[in-house]
Amino acid sequence: MIKYTLRHLEVFLAVAREQSISRAAEQLCMSQSAVSAALQEFENRYDMLLFDRSAKRLRLNSLGATIRAKAEQLLSNAQDFDSELRQHEELEPLKVGASLTIANYLASEYLADYLHRHPRSEVEVAAANSPEIARKVLNFEIDVGLIEAEMHHNDLAQTPWRKDKMVVFSRPDHPLSTKRQLTDKDILNCQWILREPGTAHRKTFDEAMHGLLVDLDIRLQLPQNEAIKNAVKAGLGIGCLSQLAVADDLERGSLVELTLKKRPMNRLFYIVTHKHAASSRAVERWMNLCKDHCN
């Protein structure tokens, strides 16, 4: 069994260079007593003396001078090895999954920031609806997922991430576009264009429509946000999507937001990982970056 540690080598070489316990302690950011104890422990483990000691100075003896070069080489090799390991850590690949809305309106910005911070990293981004992203996390197909609704599974670790709001919208010339608030009667008289059942969008919408759901006139159910917006712009009905998906259209005036009376559609986005996945610095860095963007 090896009796020395890298700390022993660092202390021995610092004292050899400085020929002083106090100066070596200052260089190593250690107390003088800690340096003295480490040096004495190193010598005692091998039953040898490496310095000639006087009242105020330490001077390498012949044995100390003999092992100094080897100690320097050993420490240099250890530092090179540490540097190589850190480079591999930086290169640790990362597979991210994002729901369609998050992938379209947030993920590119986050990916650019991540690669700016860690330019040597390899990152893959997969887009799908939230249930599919959760499934990929559970099957270890991706390392971390960004989803639009809480999913219930014992093996899924879920961290609340950021707030979002679903908005109802129409063409500017829709008969209801000038109403201050839509009543339940208005809601039932509308033709709706929505995301497909099972998606996070639809889950939030259905919960908000409690008591009206079975009587709603759902004209179209489409799997893409852009398809829903285009259908609304074509005059086929009114839609409901994340404010992220319609923000630019509302600003340009090609769509207008409709306010519902006492039917809020606020929700949370979540970061999901597998509870039993091996720890990953890449995942930790990605999660911290997501939280930084919210702050």
Please check whether residues 142 and 239 belong to one and the same domain: yes
pLDDT surpassing 70 at residue 150 = yes
Answer yes or no: is pLDDT of 200 > 70: yes
| 64/165 same-domain check | no
Q: Give the mean pLDDT of 195-217.
A: 94
In this prediction, residue 89 carries a pLDDT of 56
Looking at the fold, whether 80 and 99 belong to one and the same domain comes out as no
Contact, 181 vs 257, CB < 8 A?
A: no
Please check whether residues 149 and 74 belong to one and the same domain: no
Average pLDDT of the chain, as a whole number: 91
Distance CA 140, CA 156 (A): 11
d(CA 162, CA 120): 28
Per-residue pLDDT averaged across 223-244, rounded? 96
Predicted confidence (pLDDT) at residue 276 exceeds the cutoff of 70:
yes
Share of the chain above pLDDT 90, in %: 78
Q: Does 72 lie in the same domain as 25? A: yes
pLDDT of residue 278: 86
| Count of domains observed in the chain | 2
CATH number where 14 lies: 1.10.10.10
Reading phi first (left if > 0) and then psi (alpha if -120 to 50, else beta), residue 140 is in left
Write out pLDDT tens, residues 38-78.
Answer: 999 999 999 999 998 876 678 899 999 999 999 999 988 88
Q: What is the pLDDT of residue 1?
A: 81
Residue 3 in this model has a pLDDT that exceeds 90: no
The verdict on residue 212 lying in a domain is: yes
Same-domain status, 179 and 143? yes
- 252-264 average pLDDT score: 94
Is residue 229 scored above 90 in pLDDT? Answer: yes
Average pLDDT score over residue span 208-217: 94
Does some domain include residue 1?
no
pLDDT in the model for residue 127: 94
* Higher pLDDT, residue 36 or 85: 36
Q: What percentage of the chain reaches a pLDDT higher than 70?
A: 97
pTM above threshold 0.85 = no
The answer on 201 and 184 residing in a single domain is: yes
Give yes or no: residues 60 and 118 share one domain: no
Is the pLDDT assigned to residue 132 strictly greater than 60?
yes
User: What average pLDDT does the segment 12-34 reach?
Assistant: 91
Residues 177 and 86 in one domain: no
